[in-house]
Amino acid sequence: MTELGIRLKEAREEKGMSLADLQAVTKIQKRYLTALEEGNYEIIPGKFYVRAFIKQYAEAVGLNSELLFEEYKKDIPNSYNDDVSERISSIKPQKELPKSASKALELLPTLLVTAGIIVVIAIIYVVIQTVNGGGDQHKADNPKTEESQSKYEVPKDSPLTKEKKENGGADEDKKEEDQQKADKKEKLSIKATDSKGSSTTYEVSGADKLELEVKATEKVWIRVRDGEGQSLKEGMMKKGETFEKNITDQKQIDLRIGYAPGTEIKLNGEVLSYELDPKSVMTQNITIQNKKEEKSS
């Protein structure tokens, strides 16, 4: 085993994770994880993937991948950059287009915009003509409609009209009251305030009560701690499993997500949008700070 492989294995065992758990978090086959621990890079399909696998393994067990690459350079194949150079050199440059074709391409956006304007004008003209023609035809077919309607209008001073106004006014008052209550209702605000490496801090405000919900859309490993470091949840979660916790009285919650693409976080039913792309940073540290505003007496 290489020094790097020993370091990775020790970090995994400290986390209490088996190779099967690590495979579920990183989506890397167990035999490749074993190869990384043993320094047996020959079985990994192409040296290009060695560095990527080491990075995912390190992040899943809480190690800084960049520091590992610097500290254990001798344990990582030096041909990684050579493979990248060969792939880049194998790309054939595109053939230059003839000058006449280049000019045509330059004029193409202008031509498309002009054609689009003409089409829009034509559509508007057709719609106007259709509406006007339909209105005139309707009047010609029903010349007595307006007159008939006026004959059967309810007089303004009739009891029926007064009752309708009273009921309508009550409904309007109720709608206005409901709208005022809705406007006074506090809205939840979730804001990312800091992001470094694989860690992001979110500030949450505007809610009297705060409910945390963590749902596994795939098999994942998570850890949830309160502001004092007390563990609220730690371990593997099956697909479809949900962890819920009222965190209204907590000033801060810390989450360690083993596989972000398979983990959904909600606050009061509102999905927390990852500041860091889960597909790029699969293992993330999430800090939620509850900035509940104190109401004046």
DSSP 8-state secondary structure symbol assigned to residue 293:
P
When mean pLDDT is compared over 75-84, 106-115, 189-198, the highest value belongs to: 189-198
**For the residues of 246-284, what is the DSSP string, one character each?**
E-TT-SEEEEEES-GGGEEEEETTEEPPPSS-TTT--SE
Q: Are 72 and 4 in contact (CB under 8 A)?
A: yes
pLDDT, the chain, mean: 80
Topology at the third CATH level for domain 3-89? 434 Repressor (Amino-terminal Domain) (1.10.260)
DSSP 8-state secondary structure symbol assigned to residue 74:
G
The tokens of 225 are what? 């701690």
Strand 220-226 to 189-196 pairing: unpaired
Domain ranges of the chain: 3-89, 189-290
* Range name among 148-152, 249-253, 271-275 with the lowest pLDDT average: 148-152
What is the CA angle 241-267-198, rounded to 5?
A: 80
Question: Is residue 192 over pLDDT 60?
Answer: yes
- Residue 275, phi then psi, degrees to nearest 5: -70, -35
Q: Are 254 and 224 in contact (CB under 8 A)?
A: yes
pLDDT at 210: 87
Q: What percent of the chain has pLDDT over 90?
A: 45
Dist. CA 293–CA 206, nearest whole Å: 7
DSSP 8-state secondary structure symbol assigned to residue 185:
S
Look up the pTM and report it: 0.41
Q: How confident is the model at residue 296 (pLDDT cuts 50, 70, 90)?
A: very low
